[in-house]
Amino acid sequence: MKIVAITGNVSRPSKTRALGEYALSSVSPGHGRYLFDLVDVLPVLGTTLWRSEAPAGLANVLDAIQSSDVLVVGTPVFKSSMTGLLKHLFDLFEMTALQGRPVLIFATGKAEAHGEHVEAHLRSLMGFFKAEVAVTSSMRWTATSRIRHHLRNFGSGSTANSHALWAMVSSRRRT
């Protein structure tokens, strides 16, 4: 199984990337684990308007996302949403590119109140692609350990689509 995480941080060090790294570290050996962030594809991401024009480095990241068995999408909260460039990265995909894909979503931010806003944006975006994101409100705030729990379940191949994740990890806490 190929598990790909993409995080929408635009600089490093990054809490969001660290959380993505931590999450992937729980995937059992034998599965492919890949972590990318926007720093990997800057500055070319911002000037690439069509996937067919993506330079090799960006094309590799897009290909990895599209060919994943499980996708993990994390973002810092920017103005109550995902970062603009993360949205732009997903704008480069065809609408069928992620159909049926199990997706775990999470965000890091300072204001807990913005959690439901960024969740709505991420769900809406993944919903557009008909990806499989199921989030219950009781899981809206969850410990990092829960991310590991869900990824372990994905890693062992058990009922991937029935699992959902929402993590809003306050940047005031250490991740």
Ligand X SMILES: Cc1cc2nc3c(=O)[nH]c(=O)nc-3n(C[C@H](O)[C@H](O)[C@H](O)COP(=O)(O)O)c2cc1C
Q: Which residues bind ligand X (CB under 6 A)?
A: 9, 11, 14-17, 76-80, 108-111, 114, 171
Least separation in angstroms between residue 110's CB and ligand X is: 4
Least separation in angstroms between residue 86's CB and ligand X is: 11
Phi, then psi, of 107 in degrees rounded to 5? -145, 155
Taking the least distance from each CB to ligand X, the nearer of 9 and 68 is: 9
Least separation in angstroms between residue 81's CB and ligand X is: 8
Phi, then psi, of 70 in degrees rounded to 5? -135, 135
Taking the least distance from each CB to ligand X, the nearer of 147 and 160 is: 147
Q: Which long-range contacts (CB under 8 A, 24 or more apart) does 64-68 make?
A: 64/2, 64/4, 64/34, 64/36, 65/4, 65/6, 65/36, 65/93, 65/98, 66/93, 66/97, 66/98, 67/2, 67/4, 68/2, 68/3, 68/4, 68/34, 68/101
Taking the least distance from each CB to ligand X, the nearer of 80 and 153 is: 80
List, in sequence order, every residue forming a beta bridge with 115; answer none if it has no partner.
none
Taking the least distance from each CB to ligand X, the nearer of 124 and 162 is: 124
Residue number closest to ligand X, CB atom: 109
C-alpha 30/C-alpha 141 separation (Å) is 30
Q: In this structure, are residues 169 and 175 in contact, taking their beta carbons and an 8 Å threshold?
A: yes
Least separation in angstroms between residue 35's CB and ligand X is: 13
Least separation in angstroms between residue 22's CB and ligand X is: 12
Taking the least distance from each CB to ligand X, the nearer of 54 and 89 is: 89
